[in-house]
């Protein structure tokens, strides 16, 4: 059983997963915010390894990735960051990136170095399961969960493949398009979540577009967890002491706790 599995097996609470881009607005700020996220109620943290062409990401995360690359962030610096963070936090850490930087670093090297410092999962939006057998085998051998994504447009065949092969949890994209805070979620999201959950007993976590505690509570009534990124990244610029981030994440945690009894 992986550390990510433990999040869902040891607690009946809905999982709160936060995303931040490593190196935005600075590496030092990333290193400050991750322990704060854990303290404020996050169960898992996704660390985005910046890439020059983040196709799945909206304007906020694209800008964050561009800034992080300008700050000199590399896979190596992300791995070194996790090593330091592991001295402070014990919750699961997941890398989210694209296949090109992983391929250039070397799949075996990437999985080995990530496992050594305590990375628990990998999400690669542009690598579908029917093209990821090498990474799947190597990551599994290193004890790292390879987490696949499903979208509203996913076929029945793709849903069956992802629910069978995804480990840790299934990342369900709430909308067709890119990441980013939105005023409203799609009206048929409940039906989409229910359709996926009918086909698997694995946890289903929903991301893309969740930006308020009310939206998080709505999603968590059916899903096993919610993933929030763009709104956190925007709030990280509000104050150096990250007061707004702390307050927002605590409100998300409270909303998910209420969803448990809805």
Torsion angles phi and psi, residue 123, rounded to 5: -125, 125
Lookup: tokens for 188: 């048929």
Say how many C-beta atoms besides its own lie within 10 A of residue 67's C-beta.
Answer: 16
d(CA 42, CA 90): 11
On the question of a cis peptide bond just before residue 109, with omega within 30 degrees of 0, the verdict is no
Pick the closest to residue 15 from 48, 45, 42 (CA basis).
Answer: 42
On the question of a cis peptide bond just before residue 207, with omega within 30 degrees of 0, the verdict is no
Q: Collect all residues with Cβ–Cβ distance below 8 Å to 103 and sequence separation of at least 6.
A: none
User: 214, 92 in Cβ contact below 8 A?
Assistant: no
3-state secondary structure of 13: coil
Residues designated catalytic: 46, 57
Handedness of CA 62, 67, 73, 79 (dihedral sign): negative
The residues that bridge with 25 in the sheet, in sequence order, are none
Lookup: tokens for 205: 């976590």
């Amino acid at each position: 059983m992986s550390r990510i599995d433990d999040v869902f097996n040891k607690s009946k609470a809905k999982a709160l997963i936060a995303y931040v881009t490593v190196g935005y607005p600075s590496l030092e700020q990333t290193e400050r915010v991750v322990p704060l996220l854990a303290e404020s109620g996050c169960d898992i943290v996704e660390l985005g390894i910046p890439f020059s062409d983040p196709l799945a990401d909206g304007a906020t995360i694209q800008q964050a990735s561009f800034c992080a690359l300008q700050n000199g962030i590399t896979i190596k610096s992300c791995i070194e960051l996790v090593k330091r963070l592991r001295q402070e936090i014990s919750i699961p850490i997941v890398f989210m990136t694209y296949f090109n930087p992983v391929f250039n670093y070397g799949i075996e090297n990437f999985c080995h170095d990530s496992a050594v410092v305590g990375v628990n999962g990998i999400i690669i939006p542009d690598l579908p399961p029917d093209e990821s057998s090498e990474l799947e085998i190597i990551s599994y051998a290193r004890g790292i969960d390879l987490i696949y994504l499903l979208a509203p447009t996913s076929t029945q065949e793709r849903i069956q493949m992802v629910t069978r092969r995804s480990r840790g949890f299934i990342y369900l994209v709430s909308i067709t398009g890119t990441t980013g805070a939105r005023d409203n979620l799609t009206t048929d999201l409940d039906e989409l979540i229910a359709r996926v959950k009918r086909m698997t007993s694995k946890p289903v976590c929903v991301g893309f577009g969740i930006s308020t505690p009310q939206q998080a509570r709505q999603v968590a009534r059916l899903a096993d967890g919610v993933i929030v990124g763009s709104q956190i990244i925007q709030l990280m610029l509000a104050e150096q002491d990250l007061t707004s981030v702390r307050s927002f994440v605590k409100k998300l945690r409270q909303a998910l706790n209420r969803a448990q009894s809805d």
